[in-house]
Chain A
Amino acid sequence: MNVHDTLFWFFSIAMLLSGVLVIANRNPVNSAMCLVLLFVFMAGLFLLLDAIFLAVIQILVYAGAVMVLFLFVLMLLDIKASERRRILWLGLIGGLAVAGAFVWELAMILGKPLKPLASADKPFHAGLTDVVKPLFTKYMLPFEVTALLLLVAMVGVVLLSKKELR
């Protein structure tokens, strides 16, 4: 096993573990911190794929900005550690069954060598210009629509979290 493979297994297993901790933790602040860890390990995976820009953005935007906002909200809401919840067995078994089926399906597909069409067999670049330039040329319309999407989200948050209704 070379360094690349070792790092891959390290990052993915650590990522999965922190993912489990996010939902298993009863203290919301601890959950949020585990989520930060998850983002960091995911950035590691992007690095292994030579997607340096994505890795940096992942740390800057998700681990940095988004998580700080998360923690602010948690602080403002002043949430105590939630009570131990009763486990719904039917839900647990059903959820595990669906997840199991999904993993089995993935294992079946990825177990066989992937044969993409000739059109997909192009070398892959994910440098800064490869990501940013299409955003303002080819994918300008979706990019602009995202602006509208953010406006809607903002209006929604203000309306739904407003203290007094008048």
Chain B
Amino acid sequence: MSIYAIQLEILLVILGISTLLTDAFKPAGDKRRLGLTLGVLVGVVFCFSFLLKAQTDTAFHGLYRLDAFALYFKRLFLVATALVLVMSAEFAKRIESGVAEFYALVLFAATGMLLIASVNDFVLLFVALELVTITFYILASYLRRQVTSLEAGTKYLILGALSSGFTVYGIAYVFGTTGTTNFDSLAAALRTGGIPNGAFTFGMLLVLTGLGFKIASVPFQIWAPDVYQGAPTPVTAFLAVGSKAAGFALLLRVLLAGLLPVQGVWALLLLVLAGATLAYGNLGALPQRNLKRLLGYSSIGHAGYMLMGIAAVNALGAGAVLFYLGQYAFTNLCAFLAIVAVTNATGTEEIDGFAGLGKRAPILGLALFLAMASLAGVPPLSGFFGKFQLFAAVVEAAQTDSRYYWLAAVGAAAVVVSLYFYFNVARAIYLQEAEDNSAIPVTAPVRVALWICMAAMIGFGIFQRPLVEMAVTAASVFGLK
């Protein structure tokens, strides 16, 4: 049944390779339409994913799992990919060469993410992680004529290669001390054998270093603002939504499936890191004038919120992280779609460039405003309910260990700080007067994509139940209390 388990990945690879081949032999005249078609096709794959059933046993000799957790993440990645492709199609006119390859690379990165959702072994973890990361090196430096894009690509390449090195080195130590790379047998060995000595902990920390880089948590967050600002906007969006969710999927799998027996070692570490990440992301965002850079800092801050849920090590926390990632994808994609549409017309990413957007293009103004409000966690939007669950998980953990109250306090302070910079953007949209009041055109696909995102933000904020139920089912595979 191994082929059954990877059919979504196979579909994406077929899409990617046929894009490359048709472009080589019969180039499409209208690249924008090609991107939109691919977006719709990925949407079809997303619908198809609901026909798949979660499997209890593993595939590929225990390397791969198609459980509820994997399916949740696969659907999340498919939605994100479809919307990113629509965004790329709008962005296509600013890419000088290789537009079809750009779409293909997005599809290949998505394949890597889908694999990551199912990883159950360190060997597959490394290969899938590299597939995603190497694709992003290329995508980030895609606008070769722009120095900022090249800078983003180079920085991501150097730091990414370093963190991959740490990950492999750590995997070697974990394998050397426990004799297995499989998460299930790792947990079993740790349960019967107790915690091995220093070398194992060292290896575990090195693996966490690599994953910390992916989710941009302190102290591996330095790259995020520069890369987010310099990379082409659809790539930034995919980094913020797809790559980050992939990092969290791995973190949850590794910590809650493989390393749960040694939670005493890592839970406290994550608690400190979550607090530091929250402080860094939210304080660093305060002086930013460039909207993409601001969202880079904001993504560090949100990694902090989600780390709170993992640090709590309870069922509520794991489910909350999944819910948060789901709604975060729609919120961020909404913001980046609006940014692409605005910068296509104005050419600026500075926050001042968004002045008077409420008048110039009401739907873009509304979408960006709602996204900022949801990121800040204003009810009744989905961001509020996501944060509510995460704080509830931390408070529950605090019942047994009072140090968690400190984390909740830092989180609450971070929310207050974040209100300032998110509403700074909102102020530009509605209260600031623009020098040029000409209307900004909004194409039909962007309009549809924006309505989908806004419907999700408001819908999951008021009727949280469907997504919460999916998240809780997905998180239940770890068997936490």
Using CB atoms and an 8 Å cutoff, list the residues of chain A in contact with chain B: 105-106, 108-110, 112, 114-122, 137-142, 145-146, 148-149, 151-153, 155-156, 159-160, 162, 165-166
Contact partner of A148 (CB less than 8 A), chosen from B13, B101, B198, is B13
Q: Is B137's beta carbon under 8 Å from chain A? A: yes
Select from chain A the residue with minimum beta-carbon distance to B142: A159
Residue of B nearest to A134 (CB): B61
25 contacts across the A-B interface (CB closer than 8 A): A109-B198, A112-B197, A112-B198, A114-B197, A115-B196, A119-B180, A140-B60, A141-B60, A142-B124, A142-B128, A145-B127, A145-B131, A146-B127, A148-B111, A148-B131, A149-B131, A152-B105, A153-B134, A155-B105, A156-B135, A159-B98, A159-B138, A160-B141, A160-B144, A165-B144
In the complex, A56→B199 CA distance in Å?
29
Least CB distance, B380 to chain A, in whole angstroms: 42
A-facing residues in B244-268 (Cβ within 8 Å) = none
**Contact with A120, one of B137, B142, B144, B176 (Cβ below 8 angstroms):** B176
B127 contacts across to A, CB distance below 8 A: 142, 145-146, 149
Which of A110, A117, A138, A152 interacts with B189 by CB under 8 Å?
A: A117
How far apart are the CA atoms of A142 and B115 in the complex, in Å?
10
| 5 more A-B residue pairs beyond the given contacts A139-B123, A145-B115, A145-B128, with a C-beta to C-beta distance below 8 A | A116-B178, A117-B190, A120-B179, A137-B61, A139-B61
Known: A142-B123, A155-B105. A117 touches B135 (CB 8 A): no
* Alpha-carbon distance between A141 and B118 when the two chains are bound, in angstroms: 12
Enumerate chain A residues within 8 angstroms of B112, measured Cβ to Cβ: 145
A122 and B179 form a contact (CB under 8 A): yes
B48 to nearest A CB, angstroms? 20
- Given that A119-B189, A148-B131, A156-B138 are contacting pairs, would A109 and B199 also be in contact in the complex, using a CB cutoff of 8 Å? yes
Q: Is the CB of B131 within 8 A of A119?
A: no
Complex CA distance for A152 and B130, rounded to whole angstroms: 11
Q: Which residue of A lies closest to B108 (CB)?
A: A152
Pair B64/A110 contact, Cβ less than 8 Å: no
Q: 1/0 per residue B410-446: CB within 8 Å of A?
A: 0000000000000000000000000000000000000
Q: In whole angstroms, what is the CA distance A140 to B198 when docked? A: 32
Q: Fill in one digit per residue for B76-107: 1 if any A CB lies within 8 Å of its CB, else 0.
A: 00000000000000000000111001001100
* A115–B111 CA distance with the chains assembled, in angstroms: 39
Give, as a whole number of angstroms, the nearest-CB distance from A163 to chain B.
11
Residue of B nearest to A120 (CB): B179
A120→B190 CA distance, assembly (Å) = 11
Interface residues of B in 1-22 (CB under 8 A from A): 2, 6, 13, 17, 20
In the complex with contacts A114-B177, A119-B193, A142-B63 CB distance below 8 A = yes
Q: CB-CB < 8 A to B130: which residues of A? A: 149
Do B138 and A109 have beta carbons less than 8 Å apart? no
Chain B 180-224 interface 0/1 with A at a Cβ cutoff of 8 Å (1 = within): 100001000110010011110010000000000000000000000
Report yes or no: B6 in contact with A116, Cβ–Cβ below 8 A: no
Across-interface contacts of A160 in B (CB, < 8 A): 138, 141, 144
A105 to B203, CA, bound (A): 12
